[in-house]
Structures are given as C-alpha cells and as structure tokens.
Structure 1
Amino acid sequence: MAQVLATRMAFGQELLEIARENQNFVVCNADTKTCGLEKFGKEFPEREFSFGIAEQNLVAGAAGLAACGNKVFLATFAVFASMRACEQVRTFVCYPRLNVTIIGTHAGLQVGGDGATHAAIEDIAIMRSFPNMTVVQPADAVAARALAHAAVDFNGPLYIRLHRNPVADLYSPPNYRFEWGKARMVVDNGADLTMIVSGILLKKAVDAADALEKEGIHARVLDMATIKPLDEEAVIRSARETGAIITIEDHTILGGLGSAVAETVAEHCPVPVRRIGIRDRFGESGDPELLYRAHGMDTASITAAARELAARKNSYR
C-alpha cells in the first residue's frame, strides 16, 4: 500500500530525486522544517544556501542568485513567504521577473496545531496581486510530484502553495500530467452546478458531489490547480453550461480563488456564485477538521451549500 503523504513532502522528495539528475538549480532554506529540502545541503552542499530564520534575507539572497543566472527554489512557511518577506517578493523577485520559485508550506487551517498566527490564509491573495507571479496549488501527492518536474523547467516568479498534513491521493501517477493554467474536470455528473476547487479540499468536494448525485443534484467538480493565470475559459464554460458555481478553498474568500472566479464570472457570464472559505476572520488554533467544520468547509457543509445554490439557481428561471 502506497504511503500517504502531505503535498509538501511529496514535492520536496521529488525535487531531491530530480536534483540527482538535474544540476541546473539551487535551493535556499530558512531554519525551518518545511518540505524535506532542509536535507538538500547534505547531499548537494554547493547547491544549498541557508539563511536561518530571516525570511527577508532568504528572498533577497534567492533573488541575487537568480540575477546571476541561477534557477532558484526557496522554501519556508507560507505565512512568512507571503507576509514577512512581502516587499522582497514584490520588488526583488516579481519586478525584475527573476527565476525564483517560492515554496510556501503549511498553508491554510491545517496548521491549527501550530497556532493561529501561523495560519497562512491570505497568501494567495497577496501573491496573485503581484504582476509576473504565477500561483499554483496541487491537490494531492501525485499532483505535487508532477508539479516538481514542471517547476524545474518553469521560467519566472512562481509561488507553490503546499499543505502540512497527509492527504489521500485522488490521482494516479500513470494518468496525471500537470498542465500550467488548465483546470481539470474531476467529476462530471451533469449540469446543475459546478464546484471549482484548489488544493486539499478537492476530496471533500468530490465526496459532496457524490452525496448530491444521490439526491438528484448533478454537479461537476473542477480542480483549479493554477490560480494565476486562471483558466478563464473553463470558468466561463462552467457558468454557461451549469448556471451556478461554488468555489472551495482553504483560504480567505477575499482575494483568493473565489475572488478570481467571481471576477471572471461577473465580467463574462454572470451567474449565481457561492464562495466557500474563511470569511473575513483570522486563522485559529485547533484540530484542522474541526476548524473546517466551523468554517463551513467540511463535506456536509459543502453539500448543503450546493443544495441551496441549486435551489437559488432554479428560482431565477
């Protein structure tokens, strides 16, 4: 039986494997256990640079290495990459469009055990607001491994959002290939509504779609792994064909996936939209599953929201 991994560990392990064959990138680390890349320097001492707990210097150093022609990966907690080093990401990486991939780990409410201040629930909103920045988030370990390969060949500023805890795989390795800027249809039960998801809540959306199918409500589920640039074509198609959209994310509903989808729908094909996520609150301490339930992000709450949206959609007819 395959080991169940967090996306952060799957990505880090795969990048280590790639490094043994590909010598064309370096790694910058903070003094934190993020995704296994803290071991990179033991095997590749000349390709790893440690900056300690100094994230502003971490990003500035990575930018300097990239300005000298290096492909650079840097790893730290998402909350520190997006906020403590916000100016450095904006000015030193995005403005000159340098080849730096920022790996932001321990994102969302999964860090409830580490304390409320460590919950990065604003990071996507921050990163997607920067010109030249691409923002991606895999849903499981299979997707994370595929993303590691794609990221090595990527040029320009890139933010990869990864999660703390293990998650069951939805995808199978032989059949999965990461595609930049493309949504993936995971469930296609019909045309009553579309759920658009990014990250580890994808499994909860799939389970909700199965529950809805038993009630006679036919839902589609899209995995929007790339949040910027958004697959606007897939969003518009979903709006036209299903007439209602729910977005689901482990992030504030302000500025993240829900905002990106709502902006696209409002401009191109207005239909009812429901955003599921954290509603203008800070992160909290606690068991992640209990936090998901409290914020309406568990399977039962998603199912109920979809049921209500389907009824709301029908009332417009």
Structure 2
Amino acid sequence: MAPTRDGFGKGSVEAGESDDRVVVLTADLAESTRADSFQKTFPERFIQVGVAEQNLATVGAGMANYGKIPFITSYATFSPGRNWEQIRTTIAINNVPVKVCGMHAGLLTGPDGATHQALEDIALMRVLPHFLVISPCDAEEGRKATVAAAKTGTPVYLRFARDKTPVMTTPETPFTIGKAIVMWKSEKPKVAIFATGPLLHNALLTARELEGQGINTTVTNVHTIKPLDEETIVALARDAGAAVSVEEHQINGGLGGAIAELLAKKCPTPMEFVGVQDQFGQSGEPKELLEHYGLGVSHIVDAVKKALARK
C-alpha cells in the first residue's frame, strides 16, 4: 500500500537524474506533494514560491519558455483549481512543457473535506488544448508517469491521491502514455469496465466477484484520459456490447464522459457511469466516502448488471 503521490516523489528524482533541465516548484507544500524528495536531491533545482498558485503556474511557464522542464506541484483544488486561468493563458496557449501535478485529488483526501477534495480537475484539464491528462492507478504507475511526462515536450496534467492504496503494477508492467492496459479479461466478456486511478482496484475486485456469478468482463486501466487509447477502448466495447466507467471524479467531464464521447462517434454502446453524481465531497474516512458516494465494489457490480440489461 502506498499513495500515488509517492510515485511522483520517486519519479521526479529519476527524471531529474536523467535530465538536468527538470526543475520542481511547489506552493508551500513540499512534503505533502512529495516534492521534498526532489528538493533533498537537487536543492539548486527546487523552487518554493509560497502560497501563490497563480505565480506557481506563471513562473513555471516562464522557465519552460527558456528551456526548463518544470513540474509544478500543489493540491489539485489549488492547482489547477485556483490557477486555471494562468495555466490556460501562460502554459496551454503557449504550448510550453510545464507538468501540472495535482495532489490530494478525489475523495481519498478524506477528512480534509470538500474544499480539498478535487472532483472536477480532470474536466478542467482535458478541455485545454495541448494538455495531456494522466491519472495513475498506483504509486508505481505514478513513478512511471512522472518519468514519461518529463519527456513529452508538451504540457501535462498528472493526478495524484493522498491516501495509501493497493499497488497493482510492478516495475515490469508496461506503461506508455496514451496506451490503455487490459488488466482482466474473461472469456467471452459481456461488459467492458474502464477504470482510472486507484479505483482500478475496486474494478478488479468487481470482475472477480462477477465471474463467480457467471458474468464475464474485461477491466482496463485507462491511465491516460487525454489522449484516449481509442483503438483499444472501441475494440473492447464492441466485443462486449456494453461498457461501465469507474472514476473518483464527477461523472460530468471525466473519464466516463470522454469514453462516452468516443463511443457515440465510433461505436454506440449501452454505458453506465460509476463516479461522483454531481455532488461535492465531505469530511470522512476515505473508504467510508467511497461507499457513501457509490464507488464501492457493490456499486460497480450494480452498474455492470444495469449495462448488461440494456444490451
């Protein structure tokens, strides 16, 4: 068990060792964002801007314009939440390779409550031209995603969580930006489940439970929400004939919306959406919140059965 943000800490150091253009900036949250790992290793390439998220984005953009590869870090409610206009104007429009790292995203932020639980960040970032959007499923994938993001030459949004979650991948598990990974495939699947972030674990538990009930599925780790792996998603949806999306984010504008837009154009498919249903978060223990907002295994099971009934 490890929080996905730990992957950023390790990955940023690895990226920094490979390329001395990599720099890390934070807005008074070095420890919480795990930027302190980079700070300890490369103190001369670490910048503390203080509680000034708008400056965080614009300073990062300026550094990128002059050849650096900046990773800017804060809680996702503050970056990209508070500084979205600066991200749009100084990073996206200019297409400079700043990596926006949104930490403490989703309900796994727990007791900090609604103000600190970013449930809209994927929607905010996937609408911006030039940005790639990546949501790692675990700490190991978070490490790989950070290293890969340093090499894209484009703006990237990386989404990380606070709480410890299961590690489902290994150093040998493939990771390529824009390439989804099928993590579970039963024979003759009836429903294709597409998950992003740590909730992939619940999706896998769901598949195992459903197989015992005679309902075969696939479970795909869609770590890259933009660009989607259109070929894989369409093929799996077409083969199964029904789809379910699973995400720790508003159902509006997130993974489910992105997949629905794709399938509407290329392969109309009955689909159900597991995510936050147009609500804000609240204080509570992470596991309790996932159940309260309908993101538990039983809820995914119900969604699969609803999708199956619509075929």
* TM-score band, normalised by shorter chain: over 0.9
Counterpart for residue 216 of structure 2 = 218
How does 1:1-317 map onto structure 2 within 5 Å?
A: 4-32=1-29, 33-174=31-172, 176-189=173-186, 190-313=188-311
Moved more, 232-241 or 78-87: 232-241
Instruction: Give the Cα separation in 2 of the matches to 1:285 and 1:193.
Output: 34
Are the counterparts in 1 of residues 107 and 119 from structure 2 also a CA contact under 8 Å? yes
CA distance in 1, matches of 2:309, 2:32: 43
The 3-state SS of whatever aligns with 2:304 is: helix
Displacement of 1:35 after TM fit?
2.8
Distance in 2, Cα, partners of 1:131 & 1:91: 11
CA distance in 1, matches of 2:174, 2:137: 13
Q: What's the offset of the Cα at 1:149? A: 2.0
Change (3 A) 1:21 1:239: closer
Equivalent residues of 1:146, 1:177 under 8 A apart: no
Aligned partners of 2:102, 2:8: CA distance in 1, in Å?
11
Gaps of 5+ in 1: none
Q: How far is the alpha carbon of 1:156 from its aligned partner?
A: 1.0
Amino acid at match of 1:149: V
Q: Take 1:129 and 1:256, find their aligned partners in 2: how far apart are those partners? A: 10
- Aligned residue for 1:173, secondary structure, equals coil
Letter in 1 for 2:170: S
Q: Distance in 1 between matches of 2:14 and 2:269?
A: 45
CA deviation after TM superposition for structure 1 residue 301, in Å = 1.3
What secondary structure, in the 3-state scheme, does the structure 2 residue paired with 1:97 have? Answer: coil
- RMSD over equivalenced CA pairs, Å: 1.3
Alpha-carbon offset, residue 44 of structure 1: 2.1
String of CA shifts for 1:221-242, please: whole Å, max 9, x gaps.
0100000011111221122111
Deviation at 1:22, TM superposition (A): 3.3
Output one character per residue of 1:78-110: Cα deviation in whole Å (capped at 9) or x when no partner: 111122000011110000100100111100011
What count of residue pairs does the alignment treat as equivalent?
309
TM-score scaled by length of structure 2: 0.96
CA distance in 1, matches of 2:234, 2:286: 33
C-alpha displacement at 1:7, in angstroms? 0.8
The 1-side partners of 2:237 and 2:15 are apart by 39
| Mapped contact 1:31–1:52 kept (Cα < 8 A) | yes
How far off its partner does 1:9 sit? 1.1
| Conservation of the 8 A alpha-carbon contact between 1:244 and 1:273 | yes
Aligned-residue offset at 1:152: 2.0
Deviates more, 1:207-216 or 1:228-237: 228-237
| Offset, 1:21 | 4.7
Judging changes above 3 Å, is the alpha-carbon distance between structure 1 residues 21 and 271 closer, same or farther for their aligned structure 2 residues?
closer
SS of the residue aligned with 1:201? Answer: helix
